[in-house]
């Protein structure tokens, strides 16, 4: 009898002033690629329970708080104006560092890279972010880290970083292809009616 496949937990961090498309885009990409939940369980997590006000005052209720969140297999760290504040928040930085250690793969979108930089996990890697935040990322990482401009995403093996906003969808589909094959990623893009920009 064929063993039932275990769906990967895709955990998306949200916080005050997170950019909506930075987390909703990857959410949609992994849901569309999930084969009706067989391959990915996708959910949001925040530092604590209760509504989170994203950029534009979009109110979002996280599925979990840090203390109740199931172990992530894939961790997504989105950006937004709030990333500048949250990269100085020990609760978020420590949780991301710990969750990243247990995860199979970590993906940042836009200025989510600033939060990852605060964990020390980007030391010596190739990184990218939103074009308007390159100077902030350069200031946040050591000289051993190479900041790359003009790309949609970069893959360091376990850690994938993407440029701004819609690039997070491209990177999410790339990750789907990396894990489940290119045909699954292409099918998800078709379901979304999304023009996937690959590197």
What local confidence, expressed as pLDDT, does residue 197 receive? 86
For residues 131 and 152, give the distance between their C-alpha atoms in angstroms, rounded to a whole number. 10
Do the Cβ atoms of 34 and 42 come closer than 8 Å? yes
Q: Is the pLDDT of residue 137 over 80?
A: yes
Band of pLDDT at residue 198, cut at 50, 70 and 90:
confident
Residue 17: both structure tokens together: 């002033």
Which among 143, 115, 142, 145 has a CA at the least distance from the CA of 127?
145
Q: What is the mean pLDDT of residues 169-178?
A: 97
Which tokens in the block code for residue 13?
């961090």
User: Percent helix, strand, coil in the chain (nearest 5)?
Assistant: 40, 20, 40
Q: What is the pLDDT of residue 4?
A: 57
Share of the chain above pLDDT 90, in %: 94
Q: What would the pLDDT profile of 88-128 be if each residue is shown by its tens digit?
A: 999 999 999 999 999 999 999 999 999 999 999 999 999 99
Query: How does 137-153 read in b/e, with b if 16+ C-beta sit within 10 Å?
Result: beebbeeebebeeeebb
Collapsed DSSP state (helix, strand, coil) of residue 155: strand
In this prediction, residues 74-100 reach a mean pLDDT of: 98
Question: What pLDDT sits at residue 3?
Answer: 46
- pLDDT tens-digit profile of 22-36? 999 999 999 999 999
Which domains are assigned to the chain?
A: 8-186 (3.40.50.880)
């Amino acid at each position: 009898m064929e063993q039932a496949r275990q769906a990967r937990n895709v955990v998306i961090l949200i916080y005050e002033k997170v950019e909506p498309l930075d987390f909703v885009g990857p959410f949609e990409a992994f849901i569309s690629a999930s084969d009706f939940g067989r391959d990915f369980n996708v959910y949001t997590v925040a530092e604590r329970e209760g509504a989170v006000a994203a950029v534009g005052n979009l109110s979002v209720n996280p599925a979990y708080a840090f203390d109740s969140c199931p172990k992530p297999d894939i961790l997504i760290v989105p950006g937004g104006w709030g990333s500048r504040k949250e990269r100085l928040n020990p609760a978020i930085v420590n949780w991301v560092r710990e969750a990243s250690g247990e995860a199979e793969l970590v993906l940042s979108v836009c200025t989510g890279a600033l939060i990852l930089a605060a964990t020390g996990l980007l030391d010596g890697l190739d990184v990218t972010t939103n074009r308007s935040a390159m100077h902030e990322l350069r200031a946040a990482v050591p000289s051993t880290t190479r900041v790359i401009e003009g790309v949609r995403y970069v893959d360091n093996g376990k850690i994938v970083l993407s440029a701004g906003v819609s690039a997070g969808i491209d990177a999410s589909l790339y990750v789907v292809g990396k894990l489940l094959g290119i045909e699954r990623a292409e099918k998800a893009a078709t379901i979304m009616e999304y023009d996937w920009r690959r590197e």
